[in-house]
Structure 1
């Protein structure tokens, strides 16, 4: 994820700051992060959920270190370096953390092959339908477009929630679908305050499911104080943000 072209708070705060403090020692796995980024939070949730040892490194968005750019030429977070090899893209990292640490529990992918495929299908729905609809709604300036994108988002959420078994997507197991979605649930106050969204209006048990996601311990431990997001999201609400996702939405393309 890119960042706004103005100063942001430089480090994690609140519960996330406590988590960062616990992960400063050198480890085989280095987690390159931007505390503000929902894509980063996906991978961070999995690290905390599964109890994997890692070293946290905050990436300065304005002065990226040469070593970081050498392992990730895109210069985007999240990224990991594991025993000298690098990966990026949030969902790829999440699956790697599942595969590379098979003896760690809980698992974010079910053991049954069919259920595993179902989780991947609905994670794709989150990534390709829900997240872009949320971003289109956030960035839309015209009131009519805002109404259209709000309905688009609500429809995508209803489609998902019809499949939720409760308390999480697949039932008791917290899976990659929940991981992929949770960071946007944590941040949905932005569209609630500025774009007319409400969890109640989605219906179908969405309010209850969203509450389960945002109260998960691994989600709480990777969330910073709301106040420091305000200026970041003000850029998106004015459609001035320069992240790769924001630019893609502005250009009407996927990313």
Structure 2
């Protein structure tokens, strides 16, 4: 999330810092992370949920050091180094963890192929609708545009909430559908404070679902103190961020 690196708090804080402290030792998986990034939080939650050993390495993606660029030529987090191979893209990494560690429980995708395809359909919905709508609202500068984007976001959230079986999207089991979305729910305080957003305006079903998601231990354990997120988001609120996500939203492109 692109602000000048001197303004980014260098490490995770709060509960997330306690999680990082447990993962300094070398492991088969090296997890390259930026504590502030919602895409990172997806993969981090998956690692924590499934109890997969990993070594946490904090990266400043705005200082693209040579070794990290060898891991991910795009220079973006998250990325994983595993058995000498470099892997990246948050959802791909979550699915990789399912495939590489099938014995680790819980699994985050259903075993049944049809159910798994259904989950992927809604992961795609989150990726193509809910996340871009959230960012369009945050980055919008014109008050009328903000109203339109707020209306759009609430409509997407209502449609999604209508499919939630409860307490999680697929029912009793927390899944990759929930993981794909929850980092933006963690950060919806930005729209609440600056764009007039309220969870309850998307309906009771959405509010109940969202409120429940943010209490999941793996979500709490990968979340830093809110004060440091403010240092990141102010450029988005001014639509001045030069992150790849912000640039894609401005250009009307798919978020990379």
Range of TM-score over shorter length: over 0.9
Name the count of aligned residue pairs: 254
Q: Output the CA distance in 2 between the equivalents of 1:192 and 1:163.
A: 24
Quick one: distance in 1 between partners of 2:82 and 2:16? 22
The 1-side partners of 2:144 and 2:45 are apart by 36
Spell out structure 1 runs of 4+ moving beyond 3 A. none
Q: How far apart are the structure 1 equivalents of 2:152 and 2:173? A: 28
Does structure 2 retain, via aligned residues, the 8 Å contact 1:29–1:55? yes
Q: Does the 8 Å contact 2:61/2:77 carry over to 1? A: no
Q: Is the CA contact (8 Å cut-off) linking 1:14 and 1:224 kept in structure 2?
A: yes
Partner Cα distance (1:236, 1:191) in 2? 11
Distance 1:212 1:95 in 2: 24
Q: What TM-score do you get using the length of structure 2 for normalisation?
A: 0.97
Deviation at 1:21, TM superposition (A): 0.4
Report the Cα distance in structure 1 between the residues aligned to 2:160 and 2:252, rounded to whole angstroms: 24
Residue aligning to 2:93: 93
Q: 1:204 Cα deviation (Å)?
A: 4.4
The alpha-carbon deviation at position 64 of structure 1 amounts to: 2.8
Structure 2 residue 232 is matched with structure 1 residue 207: no
Any idea what SS the aligned residue of 1:11 has?
coil
Rounded to whole Å, the distance in 2 between the matches of 1:120 and 1:254 is 17
My pick for the range that moved more, 62-71 or 239-248, is 62-71
Distance in 1 (CA, whole Å) between partners of 2:60 and 2:159 is: 38
Per-residue deviation, 1:211 = 1.1
Residue 24 (structure 2) pairs with residue 24 (structure 1): yes
Tell me by how many angstroms 1:38 deviates: 0.3
| Alignment match, 1:106 | 106
Structure 1 contact 5–241 (Cα < 8 Å) conserved: no
Q: How does 1:41-190 map to 2 (within 5 A)?
A: 41-190=41-190
For 2:209 and 2:62, the matched residues in 1 are separated by 37
- The range that moved more, 209-218 or 54-63, is 54-63
For residues 14-61 of structure 1, the C-alpha deviation after alignment (integer angstroms, 9 at most, x for no partner) is 110000000000011000000000000000000000000000000023
Unaligned runs of at least 5 residues, structure 2 = none
Return the offset for 1:253.
Answer: 1.7
**Partner Cα separation in structure 1 for residue 174 and residue 60 of structure 2:** 31
Name the SS of the counterpart of 2:57 in structure 1: strand
Q: Give the Å deviation of 1:224.
A: 0.3
TM-score if structure 1 supplies the norm length? 0.98
